[in-house]
Structure 1
Amino acid sequence: MNKLTKALLASAVCMVPYNALATESINITVASSHPLAVPWVGFIKSHFMAKTDEILAGTGNYEIDWQEAFGGQLYKINATLTSVEQGITDIGWVFSMLEPAKLPLSQASSYAPFATANPPAQLALTWDLMQSNDEFRKEWEQYNIKVLGLTGTDSYDVYTAEPVNTFADLDGIKLSAPGVLGNWLRGTGANAVDGALTTYYTDIQTGVSEGTLSLALGILPTKTYEVAPYISRFDIGTAFSGAVAINKDTWDGLPEEVQNAMVEAGAYYTESHANDLVERHEAAIDKMVEVGAGQSTPVTVIKIPDAEREAWVNNLPDIATEWVEELEGRGVGARAFMKAYMEGLRDRGEAPVRNWDENL
């Protein structure tokens, strides 16, 4: 190689932009109490993390070195909020349904059953409320976290070891339910047993409960249909269940470009997850029937008549008003929030079976 060629090569190297030669790697731990097989957790990896990587690759300035700890490797179901708050994980899924004391306004949809079975409308409304309602946003931010994306549920039904054909059949049975959703069983005669997707199988298998109030996209991957093969389609509706959140100290230490990428990825995650809930709900029930056909007790779907569904709605006490009055007594603005939630659903074309704000 002659001197002129060497000089030209050296000059070319000097002309390469610095950021093309020096991509900064940032270590981020991402964790959850639930496994990746649960759809909204799996979407953290396939949608939130992947989208963040895709956006950052556009400039090449930064890349994330993801340290994954899904499926309860770092913490269990009872510590999803504190683990993000304390920095045990940088990013994690916070299960708001199990945090009624710390995240009171986040329980609004759980006190308004049979109001909507439309996850995209519900999560879009919840995101709007998080931007417009300071009290709602601050009840999350006070725990040293920033919300990046929202999670919800597909519609709830009843999964039992023995068939439930009517509203009256609920009387006296023990049903597992996550935290605050036990309120949906008031007035039915059923007894709520506190639990989560990670406990339902064992609880039913050992007789702690006789079934569960749950959702198809959680029951399918956890195989709870093996011990609760009867699916009673009450179509109780959907609920806001939590958020993908980042520790605020971690967030403050990130470059603006990375922050912007995560915000965009969080919005993408929320929208994709909401649409997926709609698309996969019926498919999940069909799949349980298919894979459970060879069980000693085959998976059986029981279509509940509208009159039996209405009996459930009408026998519920006014749990929304009770919730509002209890929180207002503690200085929490639940009345305005519940009204905004119900009005927001109707504005988006939803037709609640019961207008939970009518007595507020």
Structure 2
Amino acid sequence: MPSSTPFLRRRPALAAALSTLALALPGAALAQQTINITIAASHPTTIPWVGFMQSVFMPEVDKRLAAGGKYKIQWKEAFGGQLYKANATLSSVEQGITDIGWVFSYLEPAKMPLAQLSAHTPFTTSDPRIVLGAMNELIEKAPAFRAEWDKHNVVFLGATASDTYDLYTKFPVKSIDDLKGRKLSAPGILGQWLRGVGATPVDGALTTYYTDIQTGVSDGVVSLATGILPAKVYEVAPYITKVNMGVVFSGGLGINKDTWAKLPADVQRAMREAGAEYSRRHGEDLVARHQTAIQRMTEIGAKQTPPVTVTPMSAADRSKWIAALPDLAGEWVKNNAARGAQARPLLDQYLAAVKARGATPERAWDR
């Protein structure tokens, strides 16, 4: 008998028995349904909260679906600006250019004015876990916050935040007087933090800072260590001034609402749970990563000219900066009230939520 004859073809009775057994075993003959999902970001995976989309969110979804056995995701990854840039994170999820994406909310002050709340309350807390917990709670429980995502055809899955903000400049900052008249890059609405020191904000993002400083568009940046390190901005802005301006809600994972509506309930549940886990682990990571990033920049930049140096801003200068800021929270309330939003209760809810988690704001934004 030819050796190429399949074993079961030579044993028809055995083949029939195995087929019957397969049908008798629950689920044994049922194939998983494969669902195609595009997941994208304007920033590369070297940026921590983008990297966690790949290393935490996607595996957490896969793990939950594998346990159920009914569905699996075929992921199509498009990180690092392959599909869109930082100025189109909201519209790209809204329009379905990507199914899932990181929405950079504080670059969207016109479309997402309520999401700018933490940007109007600087010097509130340096703990990202506090801000993440507060914003996840408010978006879940406060209809106005949730509606701001819904109206742009986006289902919110989990918050992202920054580590605390500092100054990275190409000149030494010996006092806040050194900032007067300087051009400093900042992401969107955060440029208003410079109103207390007389510097001129230049709109930008981690993907543009290096070139902006290198070409003289700006003299430095208001930014965060976890972003500056992988973007290597310290090479052109070696003077790090530790101001500790605080943490902000930066946006979050979102999924196109039309895509969401087509997903089975089991997949929706897996994505919500994975989004919550993504946000939680992102907060823990930021706490650990911030100081490590500062140390690493100092080590790497020790031999460059000029070398990377880290200098804390004096307590007196910090106090001057905080006191010199205009009533940013009051402006946020007024501007949103003009749009018809009941913003004052939302401010109170946010500050109550962060205080309940242990924050002690350095300025009473609710007064």
What band does the TM-score fall into relative to the shorter chain?
A: over 0.9
Instruction: Tell which deviates more after alignment, 204-213 or 165-174.
Output: 165-174
Deviations 1:82-111 (A, max 9, x none): 100000000000000011111111000000
Q: Look up the match of 1:77.
A: 86
Does residue 1:251 correspond to 2:260, yes or no? Answer: yes
Deviation, structure 1 residue 341: 1.0
Deviations 1:209-243 (A, max 9, x none): 00000000110000000000010001100000001
Superposition deviation, residue 4 in structure 1 = 5.5
Q: Give yes or no for the alignment of 1:114 onto 2:123.
A: yes
Write the letter of the residue equivalent to 1:129: L
1:206 aligns with 2:215: yes
- Structure 1 CA distance for aligned equivalents of residues 29 and 14 of structure 2: 23
Q: Distance in 1 between matches of 2:88 and 2:12?
A: 65
Quote the Cα distance in structure 1 between the aligned partners of 2:324 and 2:12.
Answer: 91
Correspondent of 1:228 among 237, 252, 255: 237
Deviation at 1:17, TM superposition (A): 3.1
Q: What letter is aligned with 1:31? A: A
Identity %: 54
Matched residue type, 1:344:
A
Match of 1:296 among 299, 305, 311: 305
Change (3 A) 1:230 1:150: same
The reply to whether residue 339 of structure 1 matches residue 344 of structure 2 is: no
Alignment correspondent of 1:88: 97
Are residue 16 (structure 1) and residue 10 (structure 2) matched? no
Kindly indicate whether residue 206 of structure 2 is the aligned counterpart of residue 197 of structure 1. yes
Tell whether 2:59 aligns with 1:44.
no
Which residue of 136, 142, 146 maps to 1:127? Answer: 136
With normalisation by structure 2, the TM-score equals 0.95
Residues 19 and 61, structure 1, Cα contact 8 Å, conserved in 2: no
How far, CA to CA, are the matches of 1:19 and 1:253 in structure 2? 26
Aligned length: 358
Counterpart amino acid of 1:225?
Y
120-129 or 16-25, larger mean C-alpha shift: 16-25
Q: Which residue of 2 is the match for residue 59 of structure 1?
A: 68
**Residues 177 and 196 of structure 1 are in contact (CA less than 8 Å); yes or no, is this contact kept in structure 2?**
yes
Contact kept, 8 Å, 2:153 with 2:257, in 1: the verdict is: yes
1:244-283 equivalence runs, <5 A: 244-283=253-292
Determine whether 1:285 maps to 2:268. Answer: no
Asked whether the equivalents of residues 33 and 73 of structure 1 are also in contact (C-alpha less than 8 Å), the reply is yes
In structure 1, the partner of 2:228 is 219
Equivalent residue for 1:172, pick from 181, 184, 188: 181
Check 1:186–1:61 CA distance in 2 against 1; reply closer, same or farther (3 A cut): same
Look up the SS of the partner of 2:38 in the other structure. strand
On the 8 A contact 1:38/1:218 being kept in 2, the answer is yes
Alignment match, 2:167: 158
Name the CA shift for 1:248/1:19 in 2 (closer, same or farther; >3 Å).
farther
Decide whether the 8 Å contact of 2:109 with 2:116 is kept in 1: yes
Question: Which residue does 1:188 correspond to in 2?
Answer: 197
Provide structure 2 residue ranges, at least 5 long, that are not aligned to the other structure. 1-9
Deviates more, 1:294-303 or 1:107-116: 294-303
Deviation, 1:9, is 2.2
Counterpart pick for 1:238 among 234, 247, 259: 247
SS at match of 1:127: helix
The 5-angstrom pairing of residues 301-312 of structure 1 reads 301-312=310-321
Between stretches 100-109 and 14-23, larger displacement belongs to 14-23
The CA deviation at 1:8 is 3.0
Asked if the contact 1:19–1:60 (Cα under 8 Å) also holds between the matched residues in 2, the reply is: no
Structure whose CA Rg is larger? 2
* Structure 1 residues 131 and 10: alpha-carbon distance in aligned structure 2, compared to 1, 3 A threshold: closer
**In 2, Cα distance between equivalents of 1:80 and 1:20:** 41
- Gaps in structure 1 of 5+ consecutive residues: none
Q: Give 1:297 deviation, angstroms.
A: 1.1
* Alignment check: 8 A CA contact 1:20 1:60 kept: no
Give the CA deviation at 1:173.
0.9
Q: Are the structure 2 counterparts of residues 221 and 15 from structure 1 closer, same or farther at C-alpha, using a change threshold of 3 Å?
A: same
Q: Structure 2: how far apart are the matches of 1:133 and 1:26?
A: 32
Moved over 6 A (4+): none
Instruction: Check whether the contact 2:177–2:197 (CA below 8 A) recurs between aligned residues.
Output: yes
2:303 is paired with a residue whose SS is: coil
Offset at residue 36 of structure 1 (A): 0.5
Q: What is the SS of the residue equivalent to 1:335?
A: helix
1:172-199: CA deviation from partner (whole Å, max 9, x where unpaired): 1110001100110002011100111110
After superposition, what is the alpha-carbon deviation per residue over 1:43-77, rounded to whole angstroms, capped at 9, x for unaligned? 00100001001111112211100001101111111
Give the drift of 1:13.
2.3
1:354 has 2:363 as partner? yes
Q: Deviations over 1:285-314 (max 9, x none)?
A: 000001111212111001112111111101
